[in-house]
């Protein structure tokens, strides 16, 4: 447990030392909130779907947690490049504890980033249905962060350099985001697209956040929780396996 705590604490220290990164990471979410939230508001209302700001804010929060957690996992490549990973792996500690500590640290950082975006959403006019919904939203943020931090570690364990990073972004992370329903409703989609969105684990995370914060759900909170918990277990196991196979 000590190794898990140390690695978790290291991820937090690295996050709080990089103040410029904290500020810069708010740029994209705020851009989505302002450009899309206000830009598409009249169209969304005219279509009879209510406030687009209320709809898109949970999606932007989920997007922030997604990118932050995946980047934390893929940060494993930087540890490998600068030698910290080698120092960690030669320690007399089971690798599953090392992986768990890094995953929890990355997930915690992603949740903190998500909370900053929640504050930004409140500033631009988003209003959750009640304060009692906040703990449920935090639960879904934690599940999203755990799922994608584990995915990031699994990917980072297989990549040996940063050359494959852009490929992962273009063909995995961005489709996961755009097909999750973060920016558009999942109702009345073509059958093929609807089937793909149901295979996207982030769809259930966004749906859970939206249900907690606005009371609107496509799949149901119980389904969202069950899918995210199942995917988290699978990806934690997969990440642990790939991490255990890293060669020094």
pLDDT > 60? residue 1: no
pLDDT value of position 137: 92
pLDDT value of position 132: 80
pLDDT value of position 98: 77
Residue 235: CA atoms inside 13 Å, Cβ hemisphere, count?
24
pLDDT value of position 226: 96
Query: What b/e readout covers 80-105, taking b as 16+ CB neighbours within 10 angstroms?
Result: beeeebeebbeeebebbbbbbbbbbb
Q: How confident is the model at residue 157 (pLDDT cuts 50, 70, 90)?
A: confident
State which residues form the domain around 154: 2-244
pLDDT value of position 244: 80
Q: How far is CA 160 from CA 16, 74, 85, 187, 216, in A?
A: 27, 11, 12, 40, 42
Can you tell me the distance from the alpha carbon of 30 to that of 34, in angstroms, rounded to the nearest whole number? 6
* Domains identified in the chain, total number: 1
The mean per-residue pLDDT over the stretch 32-41 comes to: 79
Can you tell me the distance from the alpha carbon of 180 to that of 198, in angstroms, rounded to the nearest whole number? 8
Q: How confident is the model at residue 37 (pLDDT cuts 50, 70, 90)?
A: confident
State pLDDT tens for residues 46-87.
Answer: 766 778 888 899 999 999 999 988 887 777 777 777 667 676
What is the pTM (predicted TM-score) of this model?
0.89
The mean per-residue pLDDT over the stretch 99-116 comes to: 86
Average pLDDT over all residues of the chain: 83
């Amino acid at each position: 447990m000590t190794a898990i705590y140390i690695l978790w604490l290291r991820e937090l220290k690295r996050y709080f030392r990089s103040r410029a990164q904290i500020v810069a990471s708010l740029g994209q979410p705020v851009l989505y909130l302002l450009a899309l939230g206000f830009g598409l508001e009249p169209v969304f209302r005219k279509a009879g779907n209510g406030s687009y700001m209320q709809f898109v804010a949970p999606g932007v929060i989920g997007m922030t947690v997604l990118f932050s957690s995946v980047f934390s996992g893929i940060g494993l490549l930087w540890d490998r490049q600068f030698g910290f990973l080698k120092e960690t792996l030669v320690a007399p500690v089971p690798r599953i504890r090392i992986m768990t500590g890094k995953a929890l640290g990355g997930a915690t950082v992603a949740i903190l980033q998500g909370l900053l975006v929640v504050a930004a959403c409140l500033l631009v006019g988003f209003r959750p249905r009640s304060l009692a919904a906040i703990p449920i939203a935090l639960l879904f943020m934690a599940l999203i962060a755990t799922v994608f931090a584990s995915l990031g570690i699994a990917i980072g364990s297989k990549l040996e350099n940063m050359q494959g990073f852009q490929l992962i972004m273009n063909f995995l992370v961005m489709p996961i985001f755009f097909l999750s329903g973060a920016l558009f409703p999942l109702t009345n989609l073509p059958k093929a697209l609807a089937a793909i969105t149901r295979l996207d684990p982030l769809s259930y995370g966004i749906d859970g956040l939206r249900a907690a914060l606005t009371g609107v759900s496509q799949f149901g909170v119980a389904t969202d929780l069950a899918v995210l918990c199942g995917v988290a277990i699978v990806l934690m196991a997969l990440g642990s396996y790939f991490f255990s196979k890293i060669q020094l």
